[in-house]
Copies of this chain bind each other. A is one copy, B any other.
């Protein structure tokens, strides 16, 4: 399957991928390296946190979103992520991703690329949203042939 170029993106298109099962071990291993707070690495301390149990680090949830976003079909020729607006996160355990294209525009200064804005939703197995944001990405324009 070939990757889509900027020109192929259509406003309103939705894509989904998942579910990704986050294990307790993965939560603890990730948190030990990047977010070693008791609520992320110690089940007893986690039970006393405002989440009432072990929760993935926000950085971990964001990482799983990035991982799943690279698995969306059809794939885009993404050049880089530019920004994320209104990013909200809560931890959870089994995650599926949904993106919807909101806007597309050509770069004014770089003729090789366009800019897409997407509504991003990461949901758990109960369809509760655990991450939502608006992403902005560079996508390659189709080369002249």
Contacts and interface: CB of A to CB of B under 8 A. Distances in A.
Given A62-B59, A63-B63, A83 B89 contact: yes
B83 A84 contact: no
What number of copies of this chain does the assembly contain?
Answer: 2
A102 interface: no
Interface string A40-77: 00000000011100000111101111110010000000
Contact of A81 (B58, B67, B80): B58
Q: Give the size range of A's interface with the partner.
A: 20 to 34
A82 interface: yes
16 contacts: A33-B63, A34-B63, A34-B64, A34-B67, A35-B63, A35-B70, A50-B79, A50-B80, A59-B59, A59-B63, A59-B66, A59-B67, A63-B63, A83-B87, A85-B85, A87-B87
